[in-house]
Structure 1
Amino acid sequence: MSVERGRLTGELLGEKVVLRPTVEGDAEILGRIVREPEVAAWWSPPKDYGRMLAVLAGGEVVGAIRFHEETDPEFRHAGTDVFLAARHHGKGLGTDAVRTLARRLVRERGHHRLVIDPAAANEAAIRSYVKVGFRPVGVLRAYWRDHRTGRWEDGLLMDLLARELT
């Protein structure tokens, strides 16, 4: 996989998943997934699926992962986030997707530190990220607005140093 105009091209192969840039038709599938109640509890529908990577398992699009990079040399790091269809929760696919992307961001993009910021109440996601090597750093109070209720909710800031990547 390479970077072309700020976007990854090609595929990343994990142990259980394949990550690839989204293609025409993925937005419809991902839109259905992000509206599932178990996913919508933590994600509002993204405005642009085009800058995400589709997560495939068994050749089927089962979710998406995205990343951002801070390029200022004094603060250089990357962040990521992922969602999967509810029927694929608890199978290790999210953990594999995050680990696969994290390895690429560390090994080929040169990041020494990664961050992720799940909702503080999203215990399943937090357990998954801990398996990759992320550690809680602190609570981000009133960090994200729940699109369903309009209430501000807490987030958990987690980070992973390159040397800790499992």
Structure 2
Amino acid sequence: MDVPTIETDRVRLRPLADADVEELLPAVYAPGIAEWWGDTSDPDHQREGFRNDGAAFAIDTADGDLAGWLCFHEETEPDYLEVSFDILVLPAFQGRGLGPAALRAAIRWFADHRGHHRFSIDPSATNARAIRAYSSVGFKPVGTLRRAERAPSGHWRDSLLMDLLIEELA
């Protein structure tokens, strides 16, 4: 699938470029992000993660500033349609509602253009800020994924599986 450009009054989602990856990379070491990101010891691994095999958006503000990254995994099997997301908002742009705005724009596009009705995201179970942001979009907790992600310290921690049906989009 070619990654589209999606514009709203708050954000513009566009295909991620290599220059965006280089601008995003330092954020994985920043306070407020590093503790949720996982192993950051290999920058090339981080670059590939951002690229996500091409299934990734750059999140721009309405003014054109790079504010973050949104990747997706699209299940296209007709009996199991779903899109899952991961997102990073750069520290300078956090707290402005840009992450929820980007998620809403992507969800609406996948529903309208690709026929999806179900969406998921799985933040760390203790990342209260992310859980609040995703809840504001309409995501609801489904359950705990036990020891689902490795923390930067190397220990395994739980994730919270959250999902949203298109009619729940806030």
**CA distance in structure 1 between the partners assigned to 2:85 and 2:145 by the alignment:** 16
| Pick aligned residue for 1:17 from 7, 11, 15 | 11
Q: Which residue of 2 aligns with 1:145?
A: 150
Flag the structure with higher helix content.
2
TM-score normalised by L of structure 2: 0.87
Q: Which residue of 2 aligns with 1:47?
A: 48
**Residue 33 of structure 1 contacts residue 39 of structure 1 at CA under 8 Å; is this kept in 2?**
yes
**CA distance in structure 2 between the partners assigned to 1:24 and 1:81 by the alignment:** 18
Q: Supply the RMSD in Å over aligned alpha carbons.
A: 1.4
Deviation (angstroms), 1:46: 4.8
Q: Which residue of 2 aligns with 1:66?
A: 71
TM-score normalised by L of structure 1: 0.89
Structure 2 unmatched runs, 5+: 39-45
**CA distance in structure 2 between the partners assigned to 1:150 and 1:14 by the alignment:** 39
**Residue 36 of structure 1 contacts residue 86 of structure 1 at CA under 8 Å; is this kept in 2?**
yes
**Residue 54 of structure 1 contacts residue 64 of structure 1 at CA under 8 Å; is this kept in 2?**
yes
How many residue pairs were aligned?
A: 159
Aligned identity (percent) is: 40
**CA distance in structure 2 between the partners assigned to 1:119 and 1:15 by the alignment:** 30
**Residue 21 of structure 2 contacts residue 47 of structure 2 at CA under 8 Å; is this kept in 1?**
no
**CA distance in structure 1 between the partners assigned to 2:130 and 2:103 by the alignment:** 11
**Residue 33 of structure 1 contacts residue 63 of structure 1 at CA under 8 Å; is this kept in 2?**
no
Q: Which residue of 2 aligns with 1:8?
A: 3
**CA distance in structure 2 between the partners assigned to 1:46 and 1:27 by the alignment:** 6
